[in-house]
């Protein structure tokens, strides 16, 4: 089994991982303004060029696969005219799920930078160590927790407001800090 590569100290074209995450957060806010779960993603080439940006859109697109990561990968592949994005890095506000892990592997991304961990369905470290699965034919690095507080707060606020609008009781204080997804 091939070793998982080490991440670079920063992304080309950005002063820091946090600077790239700021752009993904802007995409997440765009999703929120449309009533979608606020997750945003950015795909950056190995030269520091933003290849694509996207936000969650499964409700508006009537497409359960319209996660921010999938949409960003689709757009970048279409722009590149190639289904492989070798050397590109995904920056996303929430740890990718199992479906998105598959797309990351198939696109041959070099790495993933994510904000908030997803204890319910995170497939990079929280629920599954996806990059280390022995049967995968591609390895990529990950950096988690980048602007995690801001990314997590956006999600928590979204779900708190949604529950409040639906007249649901607030969650138990013992559940504080968990991120409700879907």
Q: State the pTM of this model.
A: 0.90
Q: Are 100 and 123 in contact (CB under 8 A)?
A: yes
Torsion angles phi and psi, residue 20, rounded to 5: -65, -40
Residues 6+ apart with CB under 8 A from 131: 4, 124, 139, 140, 141, 142
β-pair partners for 55:
40
Distances, alpha carbon 34 to alpha carbons 38, 158, 167, in Å: 9, 12, 20
> How far apart are alpha carbons 61 and 57 in whole angstroms?
6
Active site residue 168: no
C-alpha–C-alpha distance, residues 105 and 114, integer Å = 16
Catalytic residue, candidates 18, 27, 36, 69 = 69
47 three-state secondary structure = coil
Tens-level pLDDT at each residue, the chain (182 residues) = 578 889 998 899 999 999 999 999 999 999 999 999 999 999 999 999 999 999 999 999 999 999 999 999 999 999 999 999 999 999 999 999 999 999 999 999 999 999 999 999 999 999 999 999 999 999 999 999 999 999 999 999 999 998 888 776 655 555 555 555 44
Distance CA 78, CA 139 (A): 23
C-beta separation of 114 from 121 below 8 A: no
Closest CA to 117 of 138, 136, 143: 143
Contact by Cβ (8 Å): 111, 141: yes
CA distance 46 to 66: 25
The CA-based angle 140-83-133, given to 5 degrees, is: 30
Note the pLDDT of residue 167. Answer: 77
Pairing of strands 141-143, 111-116: parallel
């Amino acid at each position: 089994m091939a070793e998982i590569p080490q991440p670079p100290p920063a992304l080309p074209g950005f002063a820091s991982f946090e600077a790239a995450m700021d752009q993904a957060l802007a995409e997440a806010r765009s999703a929120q303004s449309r009533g979608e779960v606020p997750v945003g993603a950015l795909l950056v080439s190995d030269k520091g060029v933003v290849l694509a940006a996207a936000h969650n859109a499964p409700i508006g697109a009537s497409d359960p696969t319209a996660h921010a990561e999938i949409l960003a990968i689709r757009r970048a592949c279409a722009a590149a005219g190639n289904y492989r994005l070798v050397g590109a890095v995904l920056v996303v506000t929430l740890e990718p799920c199992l479906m998105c892990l598959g797309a990351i592997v198939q696109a041959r991304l070099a790495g993933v930078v994510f904000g908030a961990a997803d204890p319910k369905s995170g497939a990079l470290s929280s629920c599954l160590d996806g990059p280390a699965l022995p049967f995968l034919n591609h390895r990529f690095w990950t950096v988690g927790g980048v602007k995690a507080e801001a990314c997590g707060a956006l999600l928590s606020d979204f779900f708190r407001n949604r529950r409040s609008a639906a007249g649901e009781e607030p969650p138990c204080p013992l559940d504080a800090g968990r991120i409700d997804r879907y």
